Amino acid sequence: MPKVKLNGISMQYHLEGPRSARPLVFVHGFPFSLALWKGQEKFFKKNYRVLTFDLRGMGQSALGKAPQPLEAYADDLLALLDKLKLRNPVLCGLSMGGYVAMRSLQKAPERFSGLVLCHTRPDADGDAAKLRRASGIKTIREKGARAFIKGLHPTLMAPETPASKPEIARDLLKIMKENNANGMSNALMAMAARTDSSAFLAEIRIPCLVIAGEKDALMPLEIVEGMAAKIPGSQFICLPEAGHVGNLEAPHIFNAALEEFLKTLK
Ligand code: MLT
């Protein structure tokens, strides 16, 4: 898979689809990689120029000199779009990818033509969330990345998913295991110290689709729905029976909703 040098690191990405088609950029969550979007890449590459990439310190992208704040992840996204000459893409971020997407849009609102926020929230971490991050970093340091991943993995899916769709649970674990301790610890610190995008929601002027999971234990439905309500003219969909990774757990509904949304864009 190709890599590009930017902002002092080597970043892995994958770009598919017709050169003249509208760019569609997917930003994965934590602790995943571009592999999270395999199903979307396959579905959308016929009609869209689909970009997936590994956030710094995750998948096969280097972390660079740590610590790196969330701002660096947003700067990377903007630099990657420059390098690949992708203009006015639709930006789709899941969870931490949503934090990066919101911050990127806030920094450069003129550069995007649409926004899709999946399983994410606009506000910054409160004290309880900060303490959970601290405990996660401690687990990674004392017990290793695998121990942290083992604890996190079941919470990412709806309770029924591991039994009803074991291949999804397996694929997700495989993606998670490709991440390393330093990259994961940095991402936890970056998320704990991220800015609050809540006030920015009312300023969003591009079409927006918000996607929630009915059984998402990490991003409560009312918070995701509340975020959608604050974005002028946004559309909202809740994926039934899905947890935190609706693009994997309910791919047909997810892809259909995204396709419908994309068709409405000028
Ligand atoms: C993610 O999936 O990216 C994380 O759950 C986000 C977070 O921990 O805030």
Read off the pLDDT of each residue in 100-111 and give the average, rounded to a whole number.
Answer: 98
95 C-beta closer than 6 A to ligand 1: yes
Whether the predicted pLDDT of 250 surpasses 90:
yes
Nearest protein Cα to ligand 1, atom 4? 30
Instruction: Report residue 89 CA to chain centroid gap.
Output: 15
At 169, the pLDDT band (50, 70, 90 cuts) reads very high
Q: How much distance in Å is there from the Cα of 43 to the middle of ligand 1?
A: 24
Residue 124 CB less than 6 A away from ligand 1: no
Q: What is the pLDDT of residues 127-165, one digit of tens each?
A: 999 999 999 999 999 999 999 999 999 999 999 999 999
Residue 110 confidence (pLDDT) above 90:
yes
Greatest Cα-to-Cα distance within the chain, rounded to the nearest angstrom: 51
Query: Which pLDDT does position 116 carry in this prediction?
Result: 99
Q: What percent of the chain has pLDDT over 70?
A: 100
- Is the CB of 238 within 6 Å of ligand 1? no
Q: What is the per-residue pLDDT for 255?
A: 98
Residue 111 CB partners (closer than 8 Å, separation 6+): 78, 81, 87, 88, 89, 104
Asked whether the predicted pLDDT for residue 266 surpasses 90, the reply is no
Q: Do 153 and 176 form a contact (C-beta atoms < 8 A)?
A: yes
pLDDT mean over 239-258: 98
User: Within 13 Å and on the Cβ side, how many CA atoms surround 9?
Assistant: 24
Q: What is the mean pLDDT of residues 25-52?
A: 98
Under the banding of pLDDT at 50, 70 and 90, the label for residue 229 is very high
Task: Decide whether any atom of ligand 1 lies within 6 Å of the 257 Cβ.
Answer: no
Question: Is 96 near ligand 1, meaning CB less than 6 Å away?
Answer: yes
Average pLDDT (9-22) is: 98
Query: Which ligand 1 atom sits nearest the alpha carbon of residue 133?
Result: 8
Residue found by looking up tokens 């660079």 in the block: 64
Task: Say whether pLDDT at 86 is over 90.
Answer: yes
Query: What is the spatial distance between Cα 130 and Cα 125, in angstroms, rounded to a whole number?
Result: 6
Nearest ligand 1 atom to alpha carbon 191? 9
